[in-house]
Every structure is written in C-alpha cells, then in structure tokens.
Chains A and B, each alone.
Chain A
Amino acid sequence: MTALRLWIQDLCASSTWICRKFREQQMRERVAGPPFVHLSRPQSSQLFLVYSGMDAYYSGQQICSMGLLKFLQVSGLGSRNLTWIRDPFFNNYAGGFGPDVPDLASLENWHRQHLASLPHVREIYTIGYSSGAYGALLFGHLLGANKVWAFSPRTADWETDAEAKAALRARFQQGNGVTRYDVWHAHRNRLDRQFADTIRDCAGVTVHSHPKYGATHFLLDRMILSGEFQSLLPGESPVTAALSPSLAGG
C-alpha cells in the first residue's frame, strides 16, 4: 500500500499545469494554524529547523508524505530541538509568516531571535523536502548552519521558478564560508536534478544523485523508511553546561 501511495503521489507531483493549479488551490485551502511549531529539548545542543514543502500541504501538512508523528518516531529527531516552519504564502518564504513577519528580511530576523531564545543550542541544521528544500538551503545559508540537507528540491511557485533559483544561486555564489549543503535527488527525477544543478558548483554544495527509487519526488520518505536518512544525521550532542532544573525537565 505504501508503494502504491507513493507512486500515486509521484504521479501527482509530476502532472500537468492544470493539475498543479488544482493542487495549489487545495493546498491554499488547507493552510491554517501557526506558521511554526517548536519542540524544545533542553538536554540537546542541536537544533533542527525543518521546512515544509508544498506537497506536504497537499498531504495534510506533513513532512514528505509521512505524518509528523511517524516522522518524529522514526527519524531520530524526536530527542533533539526541532522547529517546523511553514511557507504559508507558497512563495519560497518571501512572504514571511504574515503581518508581524511580512517578508524575507523579517523572517531572517525572526530566525535569529528564535536562535537567541535557545541559548543551549550550539549546532544548527536545516532540513527540507521539495519546496521546503528551498527554505532549508536559503536559511541554512543565511544563518550559517552547520549543515543543510535538501531533498528533492523545488521552488514553491512555477511562475517564479527561474527567478527564485537565480536568487538562490546568487546568494550561494557569495558563500558563507561555513555551511555544507547536501542536496539529494532521485537519479531519474529531471526537475529535482535541474534544481540541484543550479547550485551544484557553489561552495560547500554536494549533490547526491540517489541510484535507487527511480524518478520519485518522495526521496525523503524512501530514505527514512530505509534508514538511510537516519544514517546521515550527526550523533546526538548533549548540553554539557549545567542547566537549571526547570530547563532540564525537573
């Protein structure tokens, strides 16, 4: 059943303009609730910023096609600080979160304030799938994250696809001197590979063409279910400095 579901979703993900517009309309109807959620793990010095993609909205605001509960259970990230961030306006995070955080600059500032509120965090990682990969790459770059994992990268809006990729490439050509970016795509997925190619030669970027799973756009699902994703993650890094009893969980 899982294979059949992924096949159908792959089909939807690569369908025509009309299907895309229909899907986008469905996604807009699904957007509700907070623009981010955070799970605090005071014993961990690692923060994972996870960016949702459009297909995540399509399947009910999840990461890849997997429910967030399942993701927490099997990904190995449930014991580390986690922040899920959405792109409620489907424009590669350029619209921020809304009136209080209305644009990219203010969203970058929001990120910095969020990090400042987590003084026990020493390592920052970003993860994204599909158009969430765009967010992971962008904010990983802006924040100087330790590492970025971008799976099956896409932009959120086909009409501004070329401009968005060019803007990301321009930023990456400047480099931040710190971040390493691992970009993954299934070897026969043309659109995901085309995105990866736009930043392939930039500093710190390694593109991985996964030899299995054909043309799937749902590479992250496959890699989580196979255990490959978990093997990419760094070992857990506990907070070494003494924390107050309230932060340590009593």
Chain B
Amino acid sequence: MTARRDWLIEQMRQLLVEKLEVRVPVTEIHARTPLFQGGLGLNSFAVVDLISQLEQRFQFQFREADFREEHFRDLQSLADLLESYHPAGLMALKEATA
C-alpha cells in the first residue's frame, strides 16, 4: 500500500470513531473490516452519514453512479474510490494536515 492509501485509511478510521461513534475500538478497525454486517455493522443511515463526513473532510462530491455497495464494502474499497476522485487533491490535503 502507498503512504497516501495508509493515510486515507487512517483518516477514515478516525472519522468512524470520532464522528460516527462506531462502537468498535479503533484498533479493531482494519482496511478489510466490513462496514456492514459481520464487521462494524453500519446501517443504511450511518452510511449516508459516512458519505457526508467523507465529502466534508476530503472536499469532494461523490458521483451518483458511485453509490454502490461494492465501493462501501470496507475502508480498502472506499480508499480505492476516493483515490479515483482527485489523488492530487488528497495528497495536498495529506501534506496540509501533516
């Protein structure tokens, strides 16, 4: 994994715990931990909350066509999707928050 990918996943782990109040210790949230059943157990409402938080934190907007469960399976798949939006912008954000 790239440094940017690691950073993105770490940002999302923090977001899940701090903003969405996921009741799972941050140390137990990994890149491949399912967001839905069998993992964090997010419900549909929480996923939209996650979408809203991601858009605010990373300053972008999801395309409608990307609201697909396979993109929201886990943090790894979400990081893949986020990187497809504006990797340069994400890198700049990473540097700004370093």
Real binding pair: yes
Q: Which residues of A contact B51 (CB under 8 A)?
A: 39, 72
CB within 8 Å of B: which A28-83 residues = 30, 32-34, 37-41, 52, 60-62, 67-70, 72-73, 76, 78-79
Q: List 8 A-B contacts (CB under 8 A).
A: A33-B21, A33-B43, A39-B55, A69-B67, A72-B51, A73-B67, A78-B67, A249-B59
- Does A217 reach chain B (CB closer than 8 Å)? no
Task: Report how many residues on chain A are interfacial, defined by Cβ distance under 8 Å.
Answer: 26
A102 to B1, CA, bound (A): 48
Contacts A73-B65, A78-B62: A60 and B44 contacting too (C-beta < 8 A)? yes
Q: Which residues of B contact A249 (CB under 8 A)?
A: 59-61
A39 to B21, CA, bound (A): 19
CB within 8 Å of A: which B56-98 residues = 56, 59-65, 67-69, 72, 89
How does the 8 Å CB contact mask read for A14-38 relative to B, with 1 for contact and 0 for none?
Answer: 0000000000000000101110011
Q: Which residues of A contact B63 (CB under 8 A)?
A: 78
Task: Report how many residues on chain B are interfacial, defined by Cβ distance under 8 Å.
Answer: 25
> B58 to chain A: closest CB distance in Å?
10
Across the interface, name the chain A residue whose C-beta is closest to B22.
A33
A86 to B68, CA, bound (A): 23
Contacts A40-B52, A40-B55, A250-B89: A68 and B47 contacting too (C-beta < 8 A)? yes
Which residues in A have some Cβ–Cβ distance to B below 8 Å? 30, 32-34, 37-41, 52, 60-62, 67-70, 72-73, 76, 78-79, 84, 86, 249-250
Across the interface, name the chain A residue whose C-beta is closest to B45.
A61
A23 to B59, CA, bound (A): 40
- Does B24 reach chain A (CB closer than 8 Å)? no
- Does B46 reach chain A (CB closer than 8 Å)? yes
A58 to B45, CA, bound (A): 13
Across the interface, name the chain B residue whose C-beta is closest to A82.
B48
- Does B49 reach chain A (CB closer than 8 Å)? yes
Q: Which residues of B contact A68 (CB under 8 A)?
A: 44-45, 47-48
Q: Are B64 and A78 in contact (CB under 8 A)?
A: yes
A68 to B43, CA, bound (A): 9
Contacts A69-B69, A249-B61, A250-B59: A37 and B49 contacting too (C-beta < 8 A)? yes
Contacts A37-B52, A78-B67: A69 and B59 contacting too (C-beta < 8 A)? no
Q: Which residues of B contact A78 (CB under 8 A)?
A: 62-64, 67
Q: Are B61 and A41 in contact (CB under 8 A)?
A: yes
Contacts A39-B55, A40-B52: A69 and B47 contacting too (C-beta < 8 A)? yes
